[in-house]
A and B are shown apart, each in its own frame.
Chain A
Amino acid sequence: MMIFHIAARELRSLFLSPLAWLVLAVVSFIMAWLFLAQLDQYMAVQAQLALMENAPGVTEVVVMPVLATAAIVLMLVVPLLSMRLISEERRARTLPLLFSAPLSMTEIILGKYLGLLGFFAVMLGLLALMPLSLTLGGGLDFGLLAAGFLALALLLAAFGAAGLWVSTLTAQPTIAAVGSFGLVLFIWIIDWAGTRASDQQASVLSWLSLQRHYGALLRGVFDTADLAYFLLFIAAFLVFSVRRLDNDRLQH
């Protein structure tokens, strides 16, 4: 129960700042632009596609590439939303309120995280409206669409968990934003280094990469290994956050 109260407060504070609204507006605008450009391209090649056997559908040609790009846009945006979670409380010295209330550190972290996920749900809802608008003119592959949005949701949750952890490290929200952007981008491109390394190293690095697992889910390949990767990623950063927050009590 406590987790939900903290989450509700977090969400409310987010929406009381202009940042959240601006982020929603900017993301919607950029994504709409990408979506329309992709749709335009589809219209141009639609005649040829109609002649092909087993031609890719509108979901595959329009929605999936848009979701692939969305990952990059959201990678830039999530740190701005996650940066305040703990660092702002530390800067404004409001953490004692949570520490002296009958709450465990886990409840505090989970509450904060859930509040952030609530915001992500709103953002995903807005993004989902774009492909859903296509049902006005034709059919969609809902299975593929659901897989794509599940992938995006997992990716956002992973970005958010990493951002939350970086936010527990500092008292400066901007430092947290830059730090978590760097961290997430690094994990995204970590497999680039694998191309010239030995096979074993390469496979470890590519397994670590967020991009690999996101890409796999986007192609519609639902592998429990990918799902496990995301869940482990999220759980690890949440545990790190709890540990780090607990450390606040041990030494200042």
Chain B
Amino acid sequence: MNTDTLILVRHLTRLYGPIKAVDGLSFELHRGEVLGFLGPNGAGKSTTMQMITGNLAPTTGEVAIAGIDLLETPREAKAHLGYLPEQPPVYRELTVDEYLRYCARLNRLPGREVATAVKRAKGRCGLTNVGTRLIGNLSKGFQQRVGIAQAIIHSPAVVVLDEPTVGLDPVQIREIRHLIKELGEEHGVILSTHILPEVQATCDRVQIIHHGQLVLSDTIDGLARRMESNSVTVALRHPPALAELSALPSVVEVTALEDGRFRLHHAVEASPAEALVERSVAAGWGLYELIPERMSLEDIFVHITTQEASA
């Protein structure tokens, strides 16, 4: 696998004056992988993306694209790179075709390959019917797609997408996610977002960044496991005594909430749900609600960051 390391980032740090926007970040991206970059606003996602695409010089650290040092030989390294910034870098006064032809040329595609590259990129991003329209007259969603088409026009080894589904309607979001998965098969894709379902739908691996530091790097399954919290909320019409609930197998602690609701904390991967339902039926507790609580991304952040602080 190591021969197919498309991005290698070592101890990347970026200071804005005294503020550390990115602090000692190290990670890798392999071929055939979609890496999701998660983080709240201002966590340093965009700064990191700008650094690995050569738009921003890191204060310290190394970046290599497809084995080529981005800081030493930027021109060669950038040839393997496609980048969609937060705001699609489109010229409003050009038509989609003109713009994509220009992008193909900028990425040093030879003249005879330009037409096929433009056609393929348009097809992949659903732009075939708007080729002759001015970009300025297109909707935000279409402009976003033009931005993605621009990033993949030269079939780069690495595609970096900064919040690619912002401003798209649900159907378009589905299409773009499908496209990202498809890209992930032959290329390496880095995707930044703060939308959790997006990561679950598209990524193979997740990195959470907080205050410029990598706080979690895990596969998507690992993240899902972390999100399964160890508590369920139940609502009962005829609640029994607390002691009876805490006597259920694997229940660690019971908190009483209002309206006959209880939160049952249980051991990891041992939900008391089945036992609870059986007891409820047998004893006539009148169970009408049972919700396994899932942690939100926010909870994971809080969880991880407080854990680090106490450690």
**Residues of A bordering B, CB below 8 Å:** 2, 5-6, 9, 12-13, 16-17, 92-104, 249-252
Contact = CB atoms under 8 A, between A and B. Distances in A.
10 contacts: A2-B106, A17-B93, A92-B92, A96-B55, A96-B89, A99-B53, A100-B54, A101-B78, A101-B103, A249-B54
B280 interface: no
Interface residues of B, number: 31
B288 interface: no
Interface string B41-55: 000000000100111
B301 interface: no
A100 B161 CA distance: 12
Given A5-B106, A93-B85, A97-B106, A103 B75 contact: yes
B83 interface: yes
A92 B79 CA distance: 24
Contacts, number: 75
A6 to B, nearest CB: 8
Interface string B130-143: 00000000000000
Contacts of B82: 100
B56 interface: yes
Nearest to A16: B93
Closest 4 CB pairs of A and B: A97-B89, A100-B83, A94-B89, A102-B79
B92 to A, nearest CB: 7
Interface string B68-105: 00000011101101110101011111100010001101
A242 to B, nearest CB: 14
Contacts of A6: 106
B71 to A, nearest CB: 10
A93 B87 contact: yes
A9 B93 CA distance: 11
A135 to B, nearest CB: 39
Contacts of B83: 96, 100
B238 interface: no
B107 interface: yes
Contact of A95 (B79, B89, B107): B89
A104 B77 CA distance: 12
B267 interface: no
B95 to A, nearest CB: 10
Contact of B53 (A94, A100, A103): A100
B108 interface: yes
Nearest to B56: A249
Contact of A104 (B57, B75, B150): B75
Contacts of B76: 102
A249 B87 contact: no
B55 A103 contact: no
B42 to A, nearest CB: 14
Nearest to B16: A252
Given A96-B85, A252-B56, A101 B106 contact: yes
Contacts of A103: 75, 78, 106
Contacts of B105: 2, 5
